[in-house]
Amino acid sequence: MRSRAVAISLLLVFIAVVAQTAVFGDGRINPFGASPAVVLVVVLACARYIDPEPALLLGFTGGMLLDLLGGAPLGLWAMSYTVVVYIALRFRNRADDGPVIVGLGVFSLTLIAHALFVIIGTLFGERFFTSTAVIKNTLLPAAYNVLVAAVVFPIVTRMIGTRQHLGWTT
């Protein structure tokens, strides 16, 4: 049953990658010049219900796919998402505390993911800090992700959550 949950999670991440690279972004749905990080929301939603190791691999895979389909050096999103999933795993039982906590968690983790991406990217020669747009492109996706999470989390819970909720101790 757990492998089924992992397989569904992987499929959802693939769909999210297609959606993020084809539907959102500049010239697509991009309100106020920023778009949500749909892949991260899906990864976080799935990480609530699968074991820590597959969750980490799921985050790494999602990030790596974004790297492969993006313009930054390979591995930057993979690093960011893996770290964020690891943090999420430490706090995932708090998701039971209600939607406000989930919303705050998604906002904070998205912020951390983008901040890590910008910092690691800068170490690898990317020039994100030359413009104030980097602040907008870090804060707005975090806010959008809270809205996206309101849709994605119930769907993921319905698909893999009912029998797979592992709680704190796993």
Partner 1 sequence: MQSFQRFDRSTTLLIGLLVVAFLLATFDVRTAGDGLGTTMRDGAQTLFSPLQDVASAVTRPVVGFIDALSDIASLREENENLRQENLDLQKQVDQFTSLQAEIEHLRDINDLTAPDDLPTVTAQINSPGSSTLDLVRFINKGVGDGISVGDAVIDEQGLVGRVDLVFRRSARVRLIFDPNVTISVMDEVTSQSGLLTGDNDTLILRIFSADEPVREGNVIVTAGSRFPPGIVVGTVKETAADDAGFGLDTEVIAAINPSRLDFVKVIVGYSPLDAEDQELVEEEEPAEEPPAEDGSVDGEPDVLDPGDAETVDTGATP
Which residues contact partner 1 by CB under 8 A? 17-23, 25-31, 33-35, 37, 51-53, 56-57, 60, 63-79, 82-83, 86, 89, 114, 117-118, 120-121, 123-128, 130-131, 133-134, 137, 141, 169-170
State the minimum distance, in angstroms, from the CB of residue 110 to partner 1: 11
State the minimum distance, in angstroms, from the CB of residue 105 to partner 1: 18
Q: In degrees, to the nearest 5, what angle opens at C-alpha 154 toward C-alphas 151 and 159?
A: 120
* Nearer of residues 72 and 111 to partner 1, judged by Cβ: 72
First to last CA, the chain: 16
Cα–Cα distance between 44 and 56 in angstroms, integer?
Answer: 10
CB under 8 Å to 88, separation ≥6 — which residues?
A: 44, 47, 55, 105, 109
* Nearer of residues 45 and 85 to partner 1, judged by Cβ: 85
* Nearer of residues 31 and 154 to partner 1, judged by Cβ: 31
State the minimum distance, in angstroms, from the CB of residue 162 to partner 1: 22
Rg value, the chain, Cα: 15
Cα–Cα distance between 79 and 119 in angstroms, integer?
Answer: 11
State the minimum distance, in angstroms, from the CB of residue 78 to partner 1: 4
* Nearer of residues 3 and 169 to partner 1, judged by Cβ: 169
Cα–Cα distance between 160 and 86 in angstroms, integer?
Answer: 20
